[in-house]
A and B are shown apart, each in its own frame.
Chain A
Amino acid sequence: MAKTVRILVAKPGLDGHDRGAKYIARALKDAGYEVIYTGIRQTPESIVVTAIQEDVDFVGLSLLSGAHNELFPKVVELLREKDASDIIVFGGGVIPTEDIPFLKEKGIEAVFTQGTPIKEITDFIEKRLEK
């Protein structure tokens, strides 16, 4: 049997809007993945520690406050520093389209904005696993 795919859904920054993160966490669980949800107000450092401890394959970051350009890249950077760059990072929330190229350049492999069907996210995960 193939190894179960583990995903950490995390909320960096101070933003308390967790409706989307909780929905994604639950929907991914329903789709058959093992999902860990951090709760709100996590620092990039604590997210990276959890990701490594929990031995996850993916980290999904959710942020609605506008601090994504600062905090998303920080998570990728810290994963690299800890030799955990094999963990794939994606993100979502209120992210203006014009910020997406910057985030991708910084190593956030996919950005899902509001109204994205869950299928797009599971497709991304499956495709990424094939690589």
Chain B
Amino acid sequence: MSEYKTINEKKADWEESTLKKVLDRFPEQQEEFVTGSGHPVERLYLPSGISEEEYIKKIGFPGEYPYTRGVQPTMYRGRFWTMRQYAGFGTAEESNQRYKYLLEQGQTGLSIAFDLPTQIGYDSDDSMSEGEVGKVGVAIDSLKDMEILFEGIPLDKVSTSMTINAPAAVLLAMYIAVAEKQGVARDKLRGTIQNDILKEYIARGTYIFPPAPSMRLINNIFEFCSKEVPKWNTISISGYHIREAGSTAVQEIAFTIADGIEYVRNAIGVGLDVDSFAGRLSFFFNAHNDLLEEVAKYRAARRIWARVMKEKFNAKKEKSMMMRFHTQTGGSTLTAQQPDNNIVRVAIQTLSATLGGTQSLHTNSRDEALALPSQESVMIALRTQQIVANESGVISTIDPLAGSYYIEAITDRIASEAWDYIEKIETMGGMVKAIEKGYVQKEIQDSAYRYQRDVEDGNRIVVGVNKFTVEEEPPKGLLKVDPSLRTVQVEKLARVKGERNNVAVTASLKALKKGAESEDENLMPLILDAVKKYATLGEISGILREVFGEFQESIVL
């Protein structure tokens, strides 16, 4: 018994003898090691001595509060994550072809990329749309385009995610209208609208209206869907773009959860019962290259959200406390140099997302730092997911990294730092206030600036960019969007306007305007009516712009 030493005593011995001998002769490569987000990492992590009680409280079991280990009791043993490639470009016809191709290749859900005019509520013929039509996604002006987009794709068989925020209500209405034409009832529809305006103000930039009317539209959608489209995920509260803008992993989940708190508080504020809508809230995170830090990030996020919903909002239903999330690999980690290296980065990120328990995943294509991905690149990206799912073995057991001294330590550290941010934002009066002050934007910019400085100074290595560089030929076979596309789209729009019943359109827009002016009317039925009459996205958004006004960015440098 006298020989027995505690781990800490043993560690001190080890540092004095075994470790010191080596360090004296061979110093380590860096004075300090840091995570992808710049947080210091210790040389060695040791058992934390967590008690059984603490384990159950903090880590628990999959499918049970606080969901640290995952939201489903069987996770990928039951079913793989949904492999969902974000796609869309050019016209509805071209995108429809790409979706059919992806479904044939074994993809299990659709994810629609809209062009910027669509995302900001401008028709293709608007002067603001110059140069942007069909560039980063598909151009949708009216229900006609949406009918073409889903032609031959049965909407009761696929789940569809739509990256649409400010005009989310309009695109959701169009989707419901297309389903009706296919004979598919609303309660059969599965999918997600991003509908997360707060992160648009913070990081992504496709806002239209100021916060108050934007929050109203979101509440209208929550309420409408809870009754009419019960399987629809009414929002995808997104940290993805916050991270792309240069935040750390901690900031990504902290600001996302603070956004979530704001949405829930607002919805409760207009009289919605928390358990009537909270189960349909979903999340969206990034996957960067620091595999272990990312895994810990997802685990921490689930734990915090569960606590917020239970303790702050008194949710009763389990579903209301579960953080279900989609992941996309990190666009900003891709390099234009030696683009094939990106395949490897994406594979690592795929592992982090799946070891972290994601519900669905988009893997970026190797050429996305250069252009929209080619079909061949998209195939490699999808195959990367299929290899991880079918060959790597990570799916066989749930939350396989749990219990790693390091993983548990950084899960706790990330959770605690994120919690500090959340409390700070709450003290400021919530996320809308924090955004108006420019606080969140500034925090992210500072992180982005530090990161880029580190790359420039060579303190952070990016392979092919500031080390292991080569002279390269410009890449070939990049996807190019035909610049004449705008003309085609504008002609199509003119035809729709010529063929529709313009008296009915005017009447429906007038009704919408009246509804928008009265503060308590749910606008979803009015938008749905306008959409079915083939009122365009630009016309509907234009009416709402008149009533609601437009958001002005507060610039902080």
Contact = CB atoms under 8 A, between A and B. Distances in A.
Say whether A and B bind each other: yes
Of the four ranges (under 10, 10 to 19, 20 to 34, 35 or more), the interface on chain B belongs to 35 or more
A32 to B, nearest CB: 15
Interface stretch (A12-20, A77-85, A103-111): A12-20
Contacts of A40: 205, 553
Interface of A: 13-19, 22-23, 25-27, 29, 35, 37, 39-41, 43, 65-71, 94, 96-98, 113-115, 117-119
A22 B448 contact: yes
Contact of A23 (B135, B335, B452): B452
A65 B136 contact: yes
A37 B555 CA distance: 8
B370 A16 contact: no
Contacts of B45: none
Interface string B170-205: 000000000000000000000000000000100111
A113 B449 CA distance: 17
B417 interface: no
A17 B205 contact: yes
Contacts of B370: 94, 96
Contact of B116 (A15, A18, A113): A15
Q: Which 3 A-B pairs have the closest CB atoms?
A: A16-B205, A70-B131, A67-B131
Contacts of B135: 65-67
A70 B244 CA distance: 26
Interface string B241-277: 0001110000000000000000000000000000000
Interface in B452-495: 452, 456, 462, 465-466, 474-475, 478, 481, 483
A69 B130 CA distance: 11
A9 to B, nearest CB: 9
Interface string B546-557: 000000010101
Contacts of B206: 14, 16
Contact of B456 (A35, A41, A118): A118
Given A18-B245, A94-B336, 11 more contacts: A13-B131, A14-B132, A16-B206, A19-B332, A22-B448, A26-B557, A27-B452, A67-B132, A98-B474, A115-B465, A119-B456
13 contacts: A14-B132, A15-B132, A22-B557, A23-B246, A26-B449, A37-B557, A66-B371, A70-B130, A71-B130, A94-B371, A96-B371, A113-B336, A115-B462
B467 to A, nearest CB: 12
Given A13-B116, A25-B557, A66-B371, A41 B483 contact: no
